[in-house]
A and B are shown apart, each in its own frame.
Chain A
Amino acid sequence: MAAPKKSAKPPVVGLRHPNQYVYSCMANRYAIEREEGFVLAHFGLVNHANVLIDRLTVVFSDNTLESLKENLVKYSDEAGEPKKEIPKWVPPVRDSKEISYIPVVDFLHLCNWNDTNAEMCFWSYSQGQMSDLSRMGGKNEFMVPWGIALLRCPVDLQRAFLIELYPA
């Protein structure tokens, strides 16, 4: 009996940029917290007096990090290593009001310019919707993800964050 033929190309679904972001912020500190099955990424904006004036925490599942590995590590290789060290930062414990909301990330859109500025956009989408669209098999299926947060930071912070996110 002949083996079943493999389909030439798996179904693909494209992502468009989100129409808007729920939150936008800046950061000059970051910290990564590894847990079982997920990774918390903390970002903070600290002023001259070392006072935290804004913060953002998002969560990546291990599965998402694995699926983004090729993309993010290749980007990290292109972007290079940080030229200036980002000070170590321990994010303060979140209070009870904050605990209820940590958005989950499905795609991380990155860019940098002028060798100084960088942007990290955290997108979220339904895996179920993605799967349904893929099953429909159309040639130009697109999905508009939810823009969780847009974060502006120094390029060295982005470089250091990526190297720590995927340790050698």
Chain B
Amino acid sequence: MFAVVNDAVTSEVTIAPAVIAQSNFAGVSPESFNLGGSDAAVEAVVTQHWSAEMAQRFKDLSRVEALGELTIQELAELETLTRLRRSTKYPRTADEILWSRRQNSVTSGLVMAVQKYVEFHKATNRP
């Protein structure tokens, strides 16, 4: 015989979920996976969407940036908006992204080499 305990004390938990900024998974969409023999491919998913307000804010911040008057917070906001705009409005393929990273790396290497060259000629007196 079992007695039902009505006055059991349980610890109720309320959890505030984290506000996820970025995720690569759509959840339950069957479109996320595209299986064709061995060419299984997974589409990237963007959780945030580009809105008219964001577009206006992007324009405003870009204008202020051109005048060189952005605060550090605004600069960070512009960077976030630029990244979101690129991924939602003008998405690039993985190869284009990797090519762009390689280009940035080569360019920054070149700039550093030129800087070193200039510093060398400024700092040294030829014998």
Interfacial residues, chain A to chain B (CB-CB below 8 A) = 10-17, 63, 67-80, 107-115, 117, 127, 130-131, 134, 139-142, 163, 166-168
Residues of B within 8 A of A12 (CB): 30-31, 33-35
- Contact A168-B102, Cβ < 8 Å, known A77-B97, A111-B22, A112-B21: yes
Q: For B39, list chain A residues within 8 Å (CB).
A: 67
Check if B21 sits within 8 Å of A70, measured CB to CB: no
Within the complex, which residue of B21, B30, B44, B105 is in contact with A74, where a contact is CB–CB below 8 Å? B44
**Complex CA–CA separation, A70 to B36 (angstroms):** 16
Nearest chain A CB to B44's CB is how many angstroms away? 4
CA distance A78 to B20 in the complex (A): 13
Say yes or no for B62: interface residue by CB 8 A criterion. no
Judging by beta carbons under 8 Å apart, are A68 and B42 in contact? Answer: yes
B84 to A: closest C-beta gap in Å: 7
Assess whether B41 is interfacial by the CB under 8 Å rule. yes
Q: Chain B: how many interface residues by the 8 Å CB criterion?
A: 42
**CB-based contact A117/B18 at 8 Å:** yes
How many whole Å from B61's CB to the nearest CB in chain A?
17
- Pairwise interchain contact B33-A115, C-beta atoms closer than 8 A: no
A140 touches B30 (CB 8 A): yes
Kindly report which residue of chain B lies nearest to residue A16, judged by CB atoms.
B28
Q: Give B59-99 as 1s and 0s: 1 = Cβ < 8 Å from A's Cβ atoms.
A: 00000000000000000000100011011000111100111
The answer to whether B35 and A166 touch across the interface, beta carbons within 8 angstroms, is: no
Nearest opposing residue in chain A for B92, CB measure: A77
Q: Is B15 an interface residue (CB 8 A)?
A: no
Known: A10-B36, A14-B28. A70 touches B42 (CB 8 A): yes
**Within the assembled complex, what's the spacing in Å between the Cα atoms of A63 and B40?**
9
Q: Are B99 and A168 in contact (CB under 8 A)?
A: yes
Q: How far is the CA of A87 from the CA of B15 in the complex (A)?
A: 33
